[in-house]
Amino acid sequence: MTNNDYLALKVPFSEKDQVKKLFAHWDAGKKRWYATNRKYYYKFRNWIPGEIVVTDFIGIIQGVVTCWKCGRQTHVSSPTITALNTIDIEDGGTITDFSGFDVYSFPWETASVIMPQQFVEYGRRTRSIKRVFSKTEGHAYLGNVCEHCTSLQGNFFLYDEPDSPFLYESTTPLVIERVRLGNGDYVLPFNSIDSRISPNTDILSRVSFVESNMVIADY
């Protein structure tokens, strides 16, 4: 495989002939089967452990909020997938067809479970992300903290309040850093997407993209 358009499959030995008939590629070195054409990923859905495939990159979306404690402006970020780099395994559509969102952002704590650890660690190195105790939640979680006073900028505010720059009601400009996938496409586990909306959102219209120097390959 000479490009990055492929997806690792989970194929029991007893089912290898089924994927072989569908022209899956066997990598003898890695001892794994791969689907090698995004157009036909849906044919392999029985061997793909998820509903949404992320292609080419995982995004880190960034906006600005006013810290509730010190009153200064601070950057906040969130792992993100978009309609530009997702495939719905069931019907070949995108995250928008699946959920109604053209940009879908995850809390960092959720990303630490469903996304490559190399990606999460990159986010922690380059953003104001820390594991902090939340009085509201009653436990510690990985989240955004103020760049100035290190106060937690809570998940409820960032993902549920209409004042958040990440929500579809906002008009705040956003930037997405494209962190490239270097080991094929990546599948999100089942039930990673737990929100639906109608009509479809148009968050991409206020997003600009920047390319990352980081390549994620450990997954």
- The per-residue pLDDT of the chain, averaged, comes to 96
Rounded to an integer, the average pLDDT of 8-24 is 97
pLDDT level of residue 2 (50, 70, 90 thresholds): low
Tens digits of residue pLDDT in 63-114:
999 999 999 999 999 999 999 999 999 989 999 999 999 999 999 999 999 9
Task: List all residues 6 or more positions away from 205 whose beta carbon is below 8 Å from its beta carbon.
Answer: none
Q: What is the pLDDT of residue 163?
A: 87
Residue 159 amino acid letter: Y
Starting at the edge strand that comes first in sequence, how are the strands of the sheet with 52-54 ordered? 86-88, 52-54, 186-188
pTM greater than 0.85 = yes
**Three-class DSSP labels, 156-196:** HHHHHCCCCCCCCCCCCCEEEEEEEECCCCEEECCCCCCCC
Rounded to an integer, the average pLDDT of 19-46 is 96
Tens digits of residue pLDDT in 139-153:
999 999 999 999 999
